[in-house]
Homo-oligomer: A and B are copies of this chain.
Amino acid sequence: MMAEADSGTVDLEIIVQGTQEGKKQELRLWLRMLSTTKLVSQEIRRRLRNEFGATLPQFDLMAQLYRERDGLRLGELSKRTMVTNGNVTGLVERLEADGLVLRETPDGDRRVTVAKLTKRGEELFSSMAAAHEGWLRDMMADVDPAIVTELWKDIGEVKSSVNNHLSGAD
């Protein structure tokens, strides 16, 4: 596929970063990121369901509330969980029905709804979070810790590049 130089010398630069197959690398990376993420998500979903009777979106939402004990406005929750507004409404409704979250409207601004974890919500999330962290350590047990750190850094670059090339709203 790749033509060798006519003399004995080899053009290393081309081999290393150039034409090699360097066309659809981004697509290839994306497909692998996507399938890996799906794989992990499915595993976490399964364990959350089996061990805690919770769903992944519920876990994500509670995670945000757990670190903001004063609660969050639904719009803010929407941004942080990357879930649409309308979706947050239903999610919070169901969690409230289960007694894990409560909603209140602050005095100052009656347009706003703030969601907080209840006592029960805090306790449940606390144990889910501990398990969750363990599952991830488990799943990534075969990966060299140095690579984990490196991946974190490099994926950060991907994320920031993507953020700089969005078409719609931020």
Say yes or no for A87: interface residue by CB 8 A criterion. Answer: no
A133 contacts which chain B residues (CB < 8 A)?
24, 26-27
Bound CA–CA A137/B145 (angstroms): 29
Interface string of A132-170 (1 = CB under 8 A from B): 110011111111111111111011111111111111100
B154–A140 contact, CB under 8 A?
no
Bound CA–CA A43/B37 (angstroms): 17
Which of A32, A35, A155, A161 has its CB near the most chain B CB atoms (within 10 A)? A155
A39 and chain B: residue at smallest CB distance: B162
B33–A136 contact, CB under 8 A?
no
Knowing A27-B133, A30-B40, A37-B34 touch, does A162 contact B139 (C-beta < 8 A)? yes
Q: How far is the CB of A127 from chain B (nearest CB, A)?
A: 16
Say yes or no for A36: interface residue by CB 8 A criterion. Answer: yes
Say yes or no for A28: interface residue by CB 8 A criterion. Answer: yes
A158 contacts which chain B residues (CB < 8 A)?
36, 140, 143, 151
A146 and chain B: residue at smallest CB distance: B17
Give which listed residue, B22, B29, B156, contacts A155 with CB less than 8 A. B29
Can you list 25 pairs linking A and B with CB atoms under 8 Å apart?
A24-B133, A26-B136, A26-B139, A26-B148, A29-B140, A30-B140, A33-B37, A33-B155, A35-B82, A36-B158, A36-B159, A37-B37, A39-B159, A39-B162, A40-B162, A47-B167, A139-B161, A139-B162, A141-B161, A142-B157, A143-B158, A147-B154, A151-B154, A151-B155, A151-B158
